[in-house]
């Protein structure tokens, strides 16, 4: 049985039974010893050695894992694509440079925070779940856990119109930690005194 399938099976049993039924210790022991490799030994041995930690982050597709750095790069690439799609042909040319310089680095920090909360073997299950929404919707994209089908973090943009200050795009995100209630600011970009076009127009 492939390692990724065995891992998925163990995780699924744990989720479905909420810990009431666990794989037998003999099953886990036999399979962990039978297929151990030097890489696997490094993962299971706690270490403070920075060189060994670096090796851990480079283990990827062979085990079905993705390194934290690769995960962050992949999600950041998706963030840029989804954001520019949402802006559409009318808004994108006006704000894309400022978005790339001001907002995108803050999105990267938020994604780094998400990555730090999960072991590398679970990062492969975190995927972009939402395509951007047009009109006046705030949604840019969400990152969800495929195993539970729950959103982890939601990236949004809101059009603000403070009195006599013109229109601003307020970029922010929400997390599952408080049921997506709090706004975590990513930054704002000024549009104009005129009403901005609808998203994706």
pLDDT single digits (tens) 139-179: 999 999 999 999 999 999 999 999 989 999 999 999 999 99
The predicted structure's pLDDT at residue 184: 96
**Please, what's the b/e burial string for 58-94 (b: 16 or more CB within 10 A of its CB; e: otherwise)?**
ebeeebebbbbebbbebbbeebeebbbbbbbeebeeb
CA 192/CA 199 separation, integer angstroms: 15
- Bigger pLDDT: 192 or 9? 192
Q: Coil, strand, or helix at residue 115?
A: helix
CA 128/CA 75 separation, integer angstroms: 8
CA 197/CA 169 separation, integer angstroms: 12
The predicted structure's pLDDT at residue 172: 97
Residue 131: band (very low, low, confident or very high) from pLDDT cuts 50, 70, 90 = confident
Tokens of 38: 């030097």
pLDDT tens track for 13-50 = 555 554 444 444 444 444 444 444 443 333 333 334 43
Q: Are 120 and 101 in contact (CB under 8 A)?
A: no
The predicted structure's pLDDT at residue 14: 53
């Amino acid at each position: 049985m492939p390692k990724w399938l065995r891992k998925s099976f163990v995780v699924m049993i744990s989720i479905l039974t909420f810990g009431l039924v666990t794989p037998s210790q003999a099953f886990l022991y036999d399979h962990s010893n039978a297929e151990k490799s030097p890489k696997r030994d490094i993962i299971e041995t706690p270490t403070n050695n920075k060189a060994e930690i670096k090796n851990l982050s480079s283990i990827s597709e062979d085990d079905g894992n993705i390194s934290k750095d690769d995960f962050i790069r992949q999600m950041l690439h998706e963030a840029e694509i989804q954001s520019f799609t949402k802006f559409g042909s009318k808004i994108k040319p006006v704000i894309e440079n400022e978005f790339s310089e001001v907002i995108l680095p803050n999105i990267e920090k938020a994604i780094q925070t998400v990555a730090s909360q999960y072991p590398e073997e679970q990062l492969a299950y975190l995927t972009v779940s939402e395509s951007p929404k047009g009109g006046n919707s705030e949604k840019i994209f969400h990152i969800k856990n495929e195993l539970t089908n729950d959103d982890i973090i939601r990236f949004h943009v809101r059009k603000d119109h403070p009195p006599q200050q013109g229109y601003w795009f307020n970029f922010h995100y929400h997390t599952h930690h408080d049921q997506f209630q709090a706004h975590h600011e990513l930054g704002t970009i000024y549009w104009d005194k005129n009403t901005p076009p609808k998203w994706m127009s």
